[in-house]
Amino acid sequence: MWQPGYVELASTGELAARAGRLAGSLKACSLCPHQCGAHRLNPVSGQSGAGSAAGRCASGVRPIVSAYCLHMGEEPALGGSRGVGNIFFGNCNAACVYCQNYLISQRPFQEAAREVSTERLADIMLDLAGQGAASVGFVSPSHFAAQAIQAIGIAVSRGFSLPLIYNSNGYDSVTTLKSLEGVFEIYLPDLRYASAEAAVTYSALPDYPRIARLAIKEMHRQVGSRLVYGDDGLVKRGLIIRLLVLPNGISGTEQSLRWIADELGTGVCVSVMSQYYPTNRAKEYPQLARGITRDEYDRVVEVVDDLGFSHGWLQEYDSGGHYRPDFSDRIKPFKP
C-alpha cells in the first residue's frame, strides 16, 4: 500500500530538520528566486518591494491562507470524483496582469488579515481530508515553503497521510525544491513563457524561462516522468507540467513543448490549458485583450501530437468561457 514519503521523513526527524533549515532562510529571505533578502521574521505587514521588511511577496513569518476548498476542476487523475483539497496562499511571488486569482494574489494589504499559524494550516489540511479530499494541493506555495513544511509535520502527528501537490507558477528556487524532495511527491508547475521579455512585461518575473526550466528539471529529477497511481486509480507521485495558451503567441507554448521534448522527453505528462480570458489588468495590454482563437489553440494541440506526447490532458477549447474563479467568495470560489 502506498504511503507518502513525508510520513517516514517525519518519523526520522528529517522533516523537522528541513523545516528548521528553511525557516532560517526567512531571516534574509531566499525561498524564491527573487532572493529579496527580506527579514520576514520581523516584517512590516503589507509593505512590498525590494528592500522592504516584508519583501517582494509582502509576507511575514505567518502563512497567508486566502481560501481553501474542495476543487473538482483539477486534472482528473489528481482528484477523481472526490476532488483536490486546495489551499490557496495569498501574495503570489508573480504579478501576472491576467491572473485569474488576482483578488488573492495581488492585494497584499487585504490579504495580510488572513495570516494563520502553522498549527492552523495543519488544521486546514486535516479539515480537507475530513471533507473527503483525494489529495491536498498547496497553490502558490513558493514563498511559504518553510511554513508549509512545519505545518505538514504537525498534520502528520495528527494522522494526516494524503498525497501532497506542489502547485506553483514555476518561478521556484532549485535550492528550496531540494528541501522539498520526498515531501511533495506530486509537482504541478506552470511553464508560462518561453520568452524572458514576455515574462517581465506581463508577470514582472525576470529571467523566468531559465529559472522555471531549471525548477522543472529539478522536479523531474525528484519524481521522474512516469505518473505513479494508487489502488484508487489516482496519482500518488509524478510531474504534470501545465501550459496556459495565451493569445498572439505570448506564452510561446510551442517552444516550451519543444524544450520539454528535448530536455525531459515526450513521456512527461503535460496539461495544455485553453482557459485564458482577459481579466485583472489584461485589457490594458492590446496583445492580451482577447481570448485565444481556435486556430491558436489547435496549432498547439497539433504540436503536442507532432512531438509525440502521449500522457496528459487537453482542455476543451471553450474552457475560458466557464472556468472563471471568483475569490470574492472565499468559501466557494469555483462555481459548478
Q: What is the pLDDT of residues 132-169, one digit of tens each?
A: 999 999 999 999 999 999 999 999 999 999 999 999 99
**pLDDT recorded at residue 45:** 46
Confidence of residue 42 (pLDDT cuts 50, 70, 90): confident
Average pLDDT, the chain: 94
Confidence of residue 322 (pLDDT cuts 50, 70, 90): confident
State mean pLDDT over 44-67.
Answer: 70
**pLDDT recorded at residue 320:** 85
d(CA 35, CA 169): 16
Name the maximum alpha-carbon separation found in the chain.
54
DSSP characters over 155-190: HHHTT----EEEEE-S---HHHHHHTTTT--EEEEB
**pLDDT recorded at residue 2:** 81
**pLDDT of residue 47 exceeding 70:** no
**pLDDT recorded at residue 54:** 64
Superfamily of domain 61-321: Aldolase class I (3.20.20.70)
d(CA 287, CA 270): 25
The domain ranges of the chain are 61-321
Reported pTM = 0.95
**pLDDT of residue 103 exceeding 70:** yes
pLDDT tens per residue across span 109-129: 889 899 999 999 999 999 999
d(CA 121, CA 163): 16
Cell reading at 275? 482557459
pLDDT tens per residue across span 22-38: 999 999 999 999 999 99
For residue 7, give the nearest of 223, 185, 135, 153 by alpha carbon: 153
Confidence of residue 336 (pLDDT cuts 50, 70, 90): confident
State mean pLDDT over 203-230.
Answer: 97
Number of H helices, E strands in the chain: 12, 9
**pLDDT recorded at residue 335:** 81
**pLDDT recorded at residue 43:** 52
